[in-house]
Amino acid sequence: MSTTTSGAAPRESLSQRISALEVGEAKAYATFITSGDPDSPLPCWGAIAQRFEQSFSKDEERIAILDQLIAEGDRRPLYLFLETSRQRPRLMVELCQRAKELPVSVQRNLVAMPEAEPYVPIVIDQLDRSALTVWVGSPELKRRERELLAGRVGTLMAFQYFVPDNFQPSEELEQKTAQQATQQAGQTAGGS
pLDDT 10s digits, 143-162 = 999 999 999 999 999 988 87
The stretch 4-19 carries a mean pLDDT of: 71
The stretch 20-46 carries a mean pLDDT of: 89
Nearest one of 101, 102, 135, 106 to 120, comparing CA atoms: 135
Confidence band, pLDDT 50/70/90 cuts, at residue 8: very low
Residue 3 has pLDDT above 60, yes or no: no
The stretch 184-188 carries a mean pLDDT of: 68
112 touches 134 (CB < 8 A): yes
pLDDT in tens, 78-131: 999 999 999 999 999 999 999 999 999 999 999 999 999 999 999 999 999 999
- At residue 186, the pLDDT reads 67
The stretch 60-64 carries a mean pLDDT of: 94
| Residues facing 43 on adjacent strands | 161
Distance CA 96, CA 92 (A): 6
Percent of the chain with pLDDT over 90: 65
The stretch 128-148 carries a mean pLDDT of: 97
Specify the pTM.
Answer: 0.77
103 touches 78 (CB < 8 A): yes
CA dist 73 → 31, 51, 56, 139 (Å): 20, 20, 20, 29
